[in-house]
Amino acid sequence: MIGPFAVVTFDGDTPVAGLAGRLELRRLETSVGYRVLYAPDVRALQVVDGGIAGDAAAVTGELRGALERGEADVVLLPPLELGSESEAAFATLGSALERQPLIAPWTRRLLKLPGSFDEYLASRSHKTRKGIRQEERKLAAAFGERLSIARLDAPADLERLVADADRVAGTTYQRGLGGGFADTPEQRELARIGLEHGWLAGYLLYVDEAPVAYWLCSSYDGTRLLRTGGYDPAYADHRPGIHLLMRVIADACDEPTVELFDFGPGDAPYKQQFANTSRVERNAVIFAPSFRARRINATRTAILLPARAARAALDAASLTARLRARLRR
């Protein structure tokens, strides 16, 4: 990592927009499925999720300048809602040779929180409520008093949170793919800062005091974001991750300052089942107006074009989910 990148623009003495990100040296990976096929080293300006405030059009000039001056080879923007003012503002960055095409949109699932968890359950379908109750009974029958849940949200909880979340994450398929939580210096420092400021809460489910599932959440400005989670596959038949998620949602319902529960980027069946609203988003990747940066964009496009055509064929044949599950295994 090179360092932070921040922009604040003013109208006279009044701030009208802000942007937060970081400049870093990294491999810009291009993947088909879970396999990385191309990964050049670049200077990337990563704008963090939630790091755009106010009038987005007012900060685009600084991003354009960073690319033109060679401070960054590429700008990586967080998910932007399709049709939003932010998406329209950043669409002005880069020419056709510099904007990465073929970035597919996805649905982000959200939950507008009711006044209580009972109200939330009542809003779910009969099938969903029945499934939740059956799974709770099944888990209780299997483990009884051996089960316990801990919410870790104080600075003194850092070591336990990091160790236990890492222990569960190490059993998941996400770890094999380089995702999920890991006890790295960066993740540990983010957790420390989050706990100190009251932004982070970790939820752990234990069987015989051994962690078997975890969720990490962050809270800001009335929104609770589900950042990452996982469960030990040895307990998969008991769906411990869903059992723990119900506790996470129940706590969010009980906190008057939290109005929205954000299931995070990407879509999944459980998100569809437990959310009650959504929006469509897409990332944006803009390259510098240099020969090397444009060549990287062209190479990525050459890889992604046939991959997208293959994905469309799999979707049409209803084989995508089956193939993804096989690749994970």
- Distance CA(88)–CA(56), nearest Å, equals 9
pLDDT at 329: 61
- HSE of 52, CA atoms in CB hemisphere, 13 A: 23
For residue range 105-153, list pLDDT tens digits in order. Answer: 999 999 999 999 999 999 999 999 999 999 899 999 999 999 999 999 9
Q: Which residue has the tokens 């029945």?
A: 130
Computed from CA positions of residues 227, 233, 235, 236, in that sequence, does the dihedral angle turn out positive or negative?
positive
- Distance CA(94)–CA(309), nearest Å, equals 25
- Helix or strand or coil: residue 125? coil
For residue range 25-60, list pLDDT tens digits in order. Answer: 999 998 887 788 899 999 999 998 888 999 999 999
Residues of the chain with CATH 3.40.630.30: 114-258
For residue range 225-252, list pLDDT tens digits in order. Answer: 999 999 999 999 999 999 999 999 999 9
Superfamily of domain 114-258: Gcn5-related N-acetyltransferase (GNAT) (3.40.630.30)
- Distance CA(107)–CA(282), nearest Å, equals 9
What is the mean pLDDT of the segment spanning 4-33?
Answer: 91
- Residues contacting residue 36 through CB under 8 Å, at least 6 positions apart: 29, 30
- Helix or strand or coil: residue 144? helix
- Distance CA(168)–CA(171), nearest Å, equals 6
Q: Which residue has the tokens 């420092």?
A: 189
The CATH classification number of 3-106+282-328 equals 3.40.630
Helix, strand, coil shares of the chain, percent, nearest 5, are 45, 35, 25
For residue range 76-118, list pLDDT tens digits in order. Answer: 999 999 999 999 999 999 999 999 998 889 999 999 999 999 9
